[in-house]
Amino acid sequence: MKPISLILLAGVAPLGLAACSSESEEPVEQIIVRQPGEAAPVLSGVANSPGTADIVAAGKAAFAACAACHSVQQDGASGSGPNLYGVAGRAAGRLNGFAYSEAMVSSGITWDSAALNAYLAAPSEVVPGTSMSAGAVTDPERRKAIIAYLASLSQ
Amino acid sequence: MSDSKFSKPPRSKAAKWTRRGFIGVGALAGGALIVGVAIRTGNPVGKLKPIVAGGEGEALINAWVKIGADNLVTAIVPHCEMGQGAQSTIAQMLADEMDVNWENIRVMDAPADGNYVSQHTVRTFIGPGTVPNRPNQASFMEPTYDGLFTQLGKLGDAYITGGSSSVRSTGQYGMRIAGAAARQMLVAAAAAEWGVPASEITTESTMLSHAKSGKSEAYAKFAAAAAEQDLPRAPRIKTVAEYKLMGMPAPRKDIPGKVDGTAIFGIDGGPEGQELKYAAVKAAPVVGARVESMDATVAKTMPGVLQILNMGDFVAVVADSYWQAQQALGAIETAYTKSEIDGLDSEQMFAGFTKALDEAGAKGGNTKADYGDAAGALSSAALKVEAEYKVPFLAHATMEPMNCTAWVRGGKCDIWTGSQVPLMARSGAAEGAGVSADDVTMHSVLLGGGFGRRLTAEYTNQAARIAKATGYPVRMIWSREEDTTQDFYRPADISRFSGGLDKDGKLLSWNNVHCTEDEPAEAALVEFYDIPNVSVRNAEVEMPLRLGSWRSVAHSQHGFFVESFIDELAHAAGKDPYEFRRTLLANSPRHLAVLDGAAKMAGWGSDLPEGHGRGIALARSFNSIVAEVAEVDMTGGKPRVTRMYCCVDAGFAMNPDGLTAQMESGIIYGLTAAMYDEITIKDGRVQQSNFHDYQMMRMGDAPRITVQIINGAPDNLGGAGEPGLPPAAPAVANAIFAATGQRIRELPIAKHFA
């Protein structure tokens, strides 16, 4: 028996590491607004329309989806994608310190509004081989707003 | 519960199974055979019977294979599918031993029942000396050990997928024997029916044949009769030369569902035909704190909201949709009680680590390895090298955040979730619902990533508590912010080294002291390197955070520490880092072969463009040996990993495609953390929250990876899920040094190039 009980002891310790502190306590406070299937109470003042704020503001909001990869700070470091401060009018694949794909470097594109619009709509079709594997913007209005926002940055 | 629902095969991964229903399959389905690695009644060692068998006449049946009337064979695997493909590889091992063609194989999760504990995994973890060298080399004690380890597993709710162990433990010591036994029983049943000697019957492609009489029948025909046969005591398993499926890249069974969208993950699971409501949750942000008060004035007026709950340790909003629940949760003002760690910050913790290491000095702390005279050899060394390395806390960041769907009613609880420990998940829900574990049905579904994160059960506990309060089924989903801030983190660590070289650059002394308690214990050890004087110790420190297992566990830290320091020693000795390692591997031929393999793949020593560098690293973890060579491009001012070459010896690659995929995955996961990530604490709170400040490696930044496999020990399998990770970070850090002369002693690497 002795060796086996030693194995038992040795085994329980590592398994215990993953244990959690389970609880079965009741709610301290429970606010029941309604039951499933009941109609929602009529609310006032919570309707929020997207508004018709100017296109640059709309573009800034839409750019949030791009900001994970692209910085727009003047002189800011590039992330997974190049810094886009001043991209409007810039030649493609020319920002110092960013490792562009060969395809982008040799694309010969200059980023005017039409080029940005086409690229944002379908990056891999306009520049086959681009590293921008995500980020296509299908909604033309959103593209327009994002381009307006980018153009506004260096003005 | 009606048994009739078990008369046909389960329709999806989420189908309901209980032990009683499951055992009923054989009789009810007609023509089904269930075989397990038997844990027999009547234990040969009387003293152990109470441990092995629960009650009078009760057998612990571990049934892992069934044959349906349609001649489809189902492998019932006591490990989860979290992307690693182990279920499929284990089924492949069963199919090969049983002579079933791959097209006829199906895979299912074993029910979350105590009789499905992964006793072979438990054995591999904690009783490696008890595992026979050959799978069928069953000792007289085998049934006793199986029973003992099953019991042990039950104590710890150890139906576990972790430790890179599924294939090398359950597959090698369980499923292969189950398959061989099933085949032998089918042959015996056919021999009796046909009136021919069993030795004249052959099996192939799920068919039994007798050449002399020309008889041939499908397995299904004899399944019921086979179930009446005695379980073979020690079924003969195949030698490597006889393998047909083992060692082949059989297409994974889980892939079609993942491609066509029919696969059910935790976040998809739930009762069929039942409307679901959604819960968003936010726990107290500091460990030990509780919700003092909540102001839901605004939240309760928001669209879709059904209930708002202060559960004491967390706040929950239940709504018609997840988005509505999350929006309302964000509108709740919450105050928290004080916690003992309100003032904690990570810099302060690192200062504590440094103090503990100072106190441990040259000889203090807990000894992990001590041979030769490390201190003496150091003092007489011609050249002494010292270095200190530091790694941060890390989160798991599974792509699918924590989630669980629960329904509590009539003293019963059902949960749908992905877990690496389904029995523990069940126990957590049972506590939350206030019912016994037997009253909880755990519907195991696919995991959208595990990496050790889903080894805990606090999320099933939360979901059950919410569902108990509402009375209707609720799908709880954590936000990414909740997932990042409420993780069980990979511990941070600081590791100090001093090494002594003689005048010829030969390594004589290795001294290491670090902070973490190592799991696995071998993580910091370097016995495969030929170093005569070694001292490895750890100093005890306090880390009052939620800590957990993170892919490769302590190897994730020590891989970086050890292989960085070896590299520093090589450069101090004026030797090539690859050649320096070679001279230390004279007594470790498998390690040497792997190192040589990686160097050869990478063209070690060949010219690289200006500003590029090459680094090498070697690590042994989970019984597999892996060497990697990284190439980095420093011309952009910050490191860009362009290539990774990986050579792995996992004993034998049961599925080379699966092993390759796991090496690639381990490398990417390791590089993600090494390049970018750290969890920092300020005022007791985790400061990172989402992918903008806890980055994943994107496709554009991922290196091209090449993997080469060596089958160096076919009877001594190693793991696959984790061993690709430990060499990745040091290979890159060493490559950066080769390119620039800058030595990276602290992770993440991005910190040094901000």
B positions 468-487 inside 8 Å of A (CB): 469, 472
Please indicate if any CB of chain A lies within 8 Å of the CB of B421.
Answer: yes
Average pLDDT, chain B: 87
Task: For the sheet with B305-310, list strands across it.
Answer: A29-32, B305-310, B314-319, B277-283, B474-477, B403-409, B412-417, B440-444
Highest averaged pLDDT of the listed ranges B41-45, B103-107, B224-228, B567-571: B567-571
- Cα nearest neighbour of B468 on chain A: A26
- Counting residues of chain B whose pLDDT is more than 70, the rounded percentage is 85
- Angle separating helix axes B119-126 and A2-16, nearest 10 degrees: 100
pLDDT of B393: 98
Residue A97 has pLDDT above 90, yes or no: no
Return the H-helix or E-strand segment holding B227: helix B219-227
Please indicate if any CB of chain B lies within 8 Å of the CB of A39.
Answer: no
Please indicate if any CB of chain B lies within 8 Å of the CB of A42.
Answer: no
Q: Which of these, B39, B32, B28, B96, lies nearest to B66 by C-alpha position?
A: B32
Residue B7 has pLDDT above 80, yes or no: no
Tell how strand B314-319 and strand B73-77 pair up.
Answer: unpaired
Q: Which residues in chain A touch residue B277, judged by CB atoms under 8 angstroms apart?
A: 36
Spatial contact of A137 and A120, defined as CB atoms under 8 Å apart: yes
Spatial contact of B522 and B369, defined as CB atoms under 8 Å apart: no
Cα torsion A139, A145, A146, A151: sign = positive
Which residues make beta-bridge pairs with B507? B501
Among A14-23, B54-63, B119-128, B351-360, which is the least confidently predicted range?
Answer: B54-63
Nearest neighbour of B302 by CB, restricted to A1, A26, A46:
A46
Spatial contact of B448 and B402, defined as CB atoms under 8 Å apart: no
Q: Which residues in chain B touch residue A132, judged by CB atoms under 8 angstroms apart?
A: 700
- Half-sphere exposure for B639 (CA within 13 Å, toward CB): 36
- Confidence label for B155 from pLDDT (cuts 50, 70 and 90): low
Residue B571 has pLDDT above 60, yes or no: yes
Cβ separation A23–B457 shorter than 8 A: no
- Confidence label for B41 from pLDDT (cuts 50, 70 and 90): very low
Residue B108 has pLDDT above 90, yes or no: no
Spatial contact of B490 and B550, defined as CB atoms under 8 Å apart: yes
Cβ separation A46–B456 shorter than 8 A: no
State the best of B336, B465, B474, B693 to mutate against chain A, taking most chain A CBs within 10 Å: B465
pLDDT of B20: 32
Please indicate if any CB of chain B lies within 8 Å of the CB of A21.
Answer: yes
Mean pLDDT, residues A124-138 taken together: 87
- Cα nearest neighbour of B45 on chain A: A1
Residue B59 has pLDDT above 50, yes or no: no
Cβ separation A31–B296 shorter than 8 A: yes
Q: A77 Cβ partners below 8 Å, 6+ apart?
A: A71, A83, B754
Among B119-133, B284-298, B321-335, B685-699, which is the least confidently predicted range?
Answer: B119-133
Apex B141 CA angle, B137 and B143, nearest 5:
90
Cβ separation B432–A22 shorter than 8 A: yes
User: What would the pLDDT profile of B646-659 be if each residue is shown by its tens digit?
Assistant: 999 999 999 999 99
- Cα nearest neighbour of A76 on chain B: B754
DSSP state of B418: -
Nearest neighbour of A27 by CB, restricted to B309, B457, B519:
B309
Return the H-helix or E-strand segment holding B387: strand B383-391
**pTM listed for this prediction:** 0.81
Q: State how far residue B155 is from chain A, nearest Cα, in angstroms.
A: 8
Apex B480 CA angle, B325 and A50, nearest 5:
55
Residue B425 has pLDDT above 60, yes or no: yes
User: What would the pLDDT profile of B481-499 be if each residue is shown by its tens digit?
Assistant: 999 999 999 999 999 999 9
Mean pLDDT, residues B505-527 taken together: 94
Q: B11 Cβ partners below 8 Å, 6+ apart?
A: none
User: What would the pLDDT profile of A33-82 be if each residue is shown by its tens digit?
Assistant: 999 988 766 544 333 434 435 788 888 888 888 888 898 988 888 888 89
pLDDT of B143: 53
Cβ separation A80–B277 shorter than 8 A: no
Mean pLDDT, residues B27-36 taken together: 42
A138 burial level (CB within 10 Å; 0-12, 13-18, 19+):
exposed
Please indicate if any CB of chain A lies within 8 Å of the CB of B152.
Answer: yes
Spatial contact of B744 and B577, defined as CB atoms under 8 Å apart: no
The CA distances from residue B640 to B27, B259, B587, B607, in Å, are 61, 31, 35, 18
Q: What span, in angstroms and rounded, lies between the C-alpha atoms of A137 and B250? A: 39
Residue whose pair of structure tokens reads 């995991």 in the numeric block: B447
Please indicate if any CB of chain B lies within 8 Å of the CB of A47.
Answer: no
A positions 79-118 inside 8 Å of B (CB): 80, 97-99, 101
Q: Which residues in chain A touch residue B456, judged by CB atoms under 8 angstroms apart?
A: 18, 20
Q: Which residues in chain A touch residue B281, judged by CB atoms under 8 angstroms apart?
A: none
pLDDT of B117: 64
Q: What span, in angstroms and rounded, lies between the C-alpha atoms of B107 and B109? A: 7
User: What would the pLDDT profile of B275-311 be if each residue is shown by its tens digit?
Assistant: 999 999 999 999 999 999 999 999 999 999 999 999 9
- ipTM of the predicted assembly exceeds 0.95: no
Please indicate if any CB of chain A lies within 8 Å of the CB of B461.
Answer: yes
Spatial contact of B269 and B477, defined as CB atoms under 8 Å apart: no
pLDDT of A69: 86
Q: What span, in angstroms and rounded, lies between the C-alpha atoms of B754 and B751? A: 6
Cβ separation A15–B158 shorter than 8 A: yes
Range list of H helices, B264-421: 322-330, 346-360, 374-379
SS3 B648: strand
User: What would the pLDDT profile of B698-752 be if each residue is shown by its tens digit?
Assistant: 999 999 999 999 999 999 999 999 999 999 999 999 999 999 999 999 999 999 9
Mean pLDDT, residues B49-53 taken together: 31
Q: B748 Cβ partners below 8 Å, 6+ apart?
A: B392, B673, B674, B675, B676, B677, B678
User: What would the pLDDT profile of B368-380 be if each residue is shown by its tens digit?
Assistant: 999 999 999 999 9
